[in-house]
């Protein structure tokens, strides 16, 4: 039989309808609820899926064309960067550690988002939402790939970028982003969208991508800027999807409002905690600074986010619980996070250091009420110790928050001199948290978080050694055995920046032959 | 502290999993210890400690290995130290064991060293 030919060229809107919603049908051999088991059990009521407005009327063929063009430009830049030894053009080898943080902690999240959206894209009964989620799933997979490709050039020359996938599953601090996404992916489909599309993409993504990419631009890293812009143009589509999804749920049924509010509370807090890593990158890891974390927070969270929640008030939605604590944290979290990685630099696959005097001065200016009082003295102490040959490393494992999995480093709202401790008891066992926000998340669904894979506890349970390791053997060194299981090259990937292979190589490449291409001089490995 | 009986968890099937960090999974109960007003060490620490360990061994044998690198540590007057359990003031007996002092798996204790507020008074 011949394929029917549509004779008349369809208008854009009709064409969109045919290419997306026209692909859906109601099942007859099996009941719809059995084929689509997921989109009801969370309690979200949808009365009319056709009311879903697609923010971008994008069809698959248009998607290929548009993204293909973008990708061509991106790979041209990446290639030119490689051919011209772009890695030598960055401000300082310390900057590379921001890229390590990105490949270790952010890129795997893109892959997690891809998986999550693929799942959601299969399981909504509404065709419009299905297509939008599937399209985003492909976006996220592309981001995972292009970021890996762009950073792979640096991997030839610097340490700490060769093992990101294994690290994501094993290394202690990467359990923070991993647990965020696994929490979202194991929630229902509407909660996943609230977590990732709305709270993460819409409310917080600017705080992730803009500082990273402007940081890259300021520090001479054209390759990263380009993948950043390529991804960011998709992010705006994701953000629109996020807000559309929230509005759709809120407009469909008033019963959805309290459910959505609870998810907003939860995922705003989890996302805020996750972005601690970005705050630290911004204030400490960029040799040329763009804006402080505090300034970024004020612009992207307080101004934009504040306006958003005023806008959502008409649906009965208020600003997320924890919003005020988060705003207060802008003066502290980047310093507290850097202190953590300075403490545990032996166990993380990137380098840390004490900022130079000019950088300390910048931090004093940007944080006039907190930096000199609470954070400068410890950094100066660390520097003196390091210069005396006694670089400080914390050798005892930290207490972790059961929910966000970050060491308990955050201080009480209103009192930066006191660590914030919260605890709950569930079925006779105690659980500990870094904040009211994390405690509330646990108390709402303790069944979920009693399963948290807390790296410190896993180490003590003996689950983080290579097979065949005998911890009772004479001379057994637990840290060495854990780092071996992590897959960290001890002495290359970890410890202080000062004296690192990265530092020595970069100085040699730049100092010995500053004006000629030096790719032939060999990489770090 | 809270003890909720009903939760918000929604699932398609009965949802019940064992706690990953129950006592039996560890060689010894975990004890969390924090030093108030001193954040050079970024967070409280987590240590598996046998229940029969005398409480006094903390200040003599355990904590020097944990916090010894801090310039304040050697100056601590252990008789003046204030202890807290789950944030509440608490008076342990150094001669009795951790268990006899009522410490169980995943308890959190803190100690405060009056007059010391870290490097240059910065709580570091």
The complex scores an ipTM of: 0.96
Contact between A332 and A348 under an 8 Å Cβ cutoff? The reply is: no
Instruction: Establish if A454 touches chain B: CB-CB under 8 angstroms.
Output: yes
- A 10 A CB-CB count for B114 gives 12
The runs of H, that is alpha helices, within A43-105 are 60-83, 96-101
Contacts of B32 in chain A (CB under 8 A): 399, 432
Contact between A134 and A121 under an 8 Å Cβ cutoff? The reply is: yes
Instruction: Establish if A41 touches chain B: CB-CB under 8 angstroms.
Output: yes
Between chains, do B44 and A419 touch, taking CB under 8 Å as contact?
A: yes
Between chains, do B45 and A409 touch, taking CB under 8 Å as contact?
A: no
Between chains, do B117 and A398 touch, taking CB under 8 Å as contact?
A: no
> How many Å apart are CA A179 and CA A42, to the nearest integer?
21
Q: Per-residue DSSP letters for A117-176? A: HHHHHHH-S-HHHHHHHHHHHHHHHHHHHHHHHHHHHHHTTSSS-S-HHHHHHHSGGGHH
Contact between A198 and A45 under an 8 Å Cβ cutoff? The reply is: no
Nearest Cα of chain A lies from the Cα of B114 at a distance, in angstroms, of: 14
Mutate to test the interface with B, among A457, A463, A476, A478 (most CBs of B within 10 A): A457
- A 10 A CB-CB count for A458 gives 19
Nearest Cα of chain A lies from the Cα of B97 at a distance, in angstroms, of: 20
Q: For A262, which residue in chain B has the nearest alpha carbon? A: B8
pTM of the model: 0.94
Contacts of A386 in chain B (CB under 8 A): none
Nearest Cα of chain A lies from the Cα of B80 at a distance, in angstroms, of: 20
Between chains, do A457 and B19 touch, taking CB under 8 Å as contact?
A: no
pLDDT tens for each residue of B65-115 = 999 999 999 999 999 999 999 999 999 999 999 999 999 999 999 999 999
The token duo for A192 is: 């996943």
Mutate to test the interface with B, among A423, A439, A441, A463 (most CBs of B within 10 A): A423
A346: which DSSP letter? T
Between chains, do A446 and B4 touch, taking CB under 8 Å as contact?
A: yes
Instruction: Establish if A404 touches chain B: CB-CB under 8 angstroms.
Output: no
Contacts of A186 in chain B (CB under 8 A): none
Instruction: Establish if A426 touches chain B: CB-CB under 8 angstroms.
Output: yes
Contacts of B17 in chain A (CB under 8 A): 447, 450-451
Contact between A343 and A393 under an 8 Å Cβ cutoff? The reply is: yes
pLDDT tens, N- to C-terminus, chain A (525 residues)? 566 665 678 888 888 888 888 888 999 999 999 999 999 999 999 999 989 887 777 888 889 999 999 999 999 999 999 999 999 999 999 999 999 999 999 999 999 999 999 999 999 999 989 999 999 999 999 999 999 999 999 999 999 999 999 999 999 999 999 999 999 999 999 999 999 999 998 888 888 878 888 899 999 998 899 888 888 888 888 888 889 999 999 999 999 999 999 999 999 999 999 999 999 999 999 999 989 999 999 999 999 999 999 999 999 999 999 999 999 999 999 999 999 999 999 999 999 999 999 999 999 999 999 999 999 999 999 999 999 999 999 999 999 999 999 999 999 999 999 999 999 999 999 999 999 999 999 999 999 999 999 999 999 999 999 999 998 899 999 999 999 999 999 999 999 999 999 999 999 999 844 443 333 333 333
């Amino acid at each position: 039989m011949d394929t029917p030919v549509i004779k008349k060229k369809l208008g854009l809107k009709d064409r969109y309808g045919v290419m997306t919603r026209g692909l859906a049908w109601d099942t007859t051999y099996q009941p719809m609820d059995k084929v689509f088991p997921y989109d009801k059990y969370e309690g979200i009521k949808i009365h009319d899926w056709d009311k879903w407005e697609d923010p971008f009327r994008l069809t698959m063929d248009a998607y290929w064309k548009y993204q293909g063009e973008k990708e061509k430009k991106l790979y041209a830049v990446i290639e030119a960067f490689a051919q011209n030894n772009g890695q030598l053009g960055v401000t300082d080898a310390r900057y590379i550690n921001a890229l390590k943080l990105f490949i270790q902690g952010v890129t795997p999240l893109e892959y997690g988002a891809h998986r999550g959206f693929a799942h959601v894209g299969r399981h909504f009964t509404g065709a419009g939402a299905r297509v939008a989620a599937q399209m985003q799933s492909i976006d996220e997979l592309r981001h995972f790939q292009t970021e890996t490709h762009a950073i792979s050039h640096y991997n030839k020359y610097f340490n700490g970028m060769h093992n990101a996938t294994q690290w994501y599953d094993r290394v202690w601090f990467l359990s923070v982003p991993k647990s965020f996404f696994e929490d979202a992916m194991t929630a229902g489909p509407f909660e996943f969208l609230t977590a990732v599309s709305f709270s993460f993409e819409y409310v917080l993504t600017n705080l992730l991508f803009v500082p990273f990419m402007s940081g890259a631009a300021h520090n001479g890293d054209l390759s990263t800027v380009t993948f950043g812009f390529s991804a960011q143009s998709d992010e705006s589509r994701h953000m629109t999807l996020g807000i559309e999804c929230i509005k759709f749920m809120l407009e469909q049924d008033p019963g959805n409002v309290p459910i959505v509010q609870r998810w907003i509370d939860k995922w705003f807090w989890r996302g805020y905690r996750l972005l601690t890593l970005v705050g630290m990158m911004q204030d400490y890891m960029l040799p040329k600074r763009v804006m402080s974390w505090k300034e970024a927070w004020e612009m992207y969270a307080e101004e934009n986010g504040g306006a958003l929640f005023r806008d959502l008030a008409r649906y009965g939605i208020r600003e997320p619980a924890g919003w005020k604590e988060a705003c207060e944290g802008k003066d502290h979290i980047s310093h507290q996070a850097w202190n953590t990685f300075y403490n545990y630099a032996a166990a993380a696959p990137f380098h840390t250091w004490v900022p130079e005097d000019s950088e300390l001065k910048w931090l004093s200016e940007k944080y006039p009420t907190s930096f000199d009082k609470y954070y400068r003295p410890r950094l100066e102490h660390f520097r003196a110790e390091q210069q005396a040959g006694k670089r400080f490393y914390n050798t005892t494992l930290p207490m972790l928050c059961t929910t966000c999995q970050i060491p308990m480093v955050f201080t009480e709202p209103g009192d930066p001199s006191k660590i914030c401790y919260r605890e709950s008891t569930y079925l006779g066992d105690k659980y500990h948290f870094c904040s009211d926000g994390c405690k509330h998340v646990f108390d709402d669904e303790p069944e979920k978080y009693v399963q948290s894979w807390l790296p410190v506890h896993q180490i003590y349970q003996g689950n983080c050694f290579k097979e065949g390791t005998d911890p009772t053997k004479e001379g057994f060194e637990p840290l060495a055995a854990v780092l071996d299981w992590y897959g960290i090259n001890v002495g290359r990937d970890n410890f202080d920046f000062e004296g690192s292979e990265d530092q020595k190589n970069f100085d040699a490449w730049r100092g010995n032959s500053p004006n000629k291409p030096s790719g032939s001089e060999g990489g770090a490995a | 502290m809270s003890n909720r009986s009903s939760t918000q968890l929604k699932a398609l099937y009965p949802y019940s999993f064992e706690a990953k960090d129950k006592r039996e999974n560890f060689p010894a109960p975990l004890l969390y210890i924090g030093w108030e007003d001193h954040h050079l060490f970024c967070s409280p620490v987590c240590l598996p400690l046998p229940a029969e360990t005398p409480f006094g061994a903390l200040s003599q044998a355990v904590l020097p290995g944990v916090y010894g690198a801090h310039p304040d540590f050697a100056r601590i007057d252990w008789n003046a130290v204030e202890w807290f359990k789950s944030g509440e003031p608490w008076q342990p007996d150094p001669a009795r064991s951790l268990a006899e002092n009522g410490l169980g798996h995943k308890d959190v204790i803190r100690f405060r060293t009056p007059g010391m507020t870290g490097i240059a008074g910065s709580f570091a």
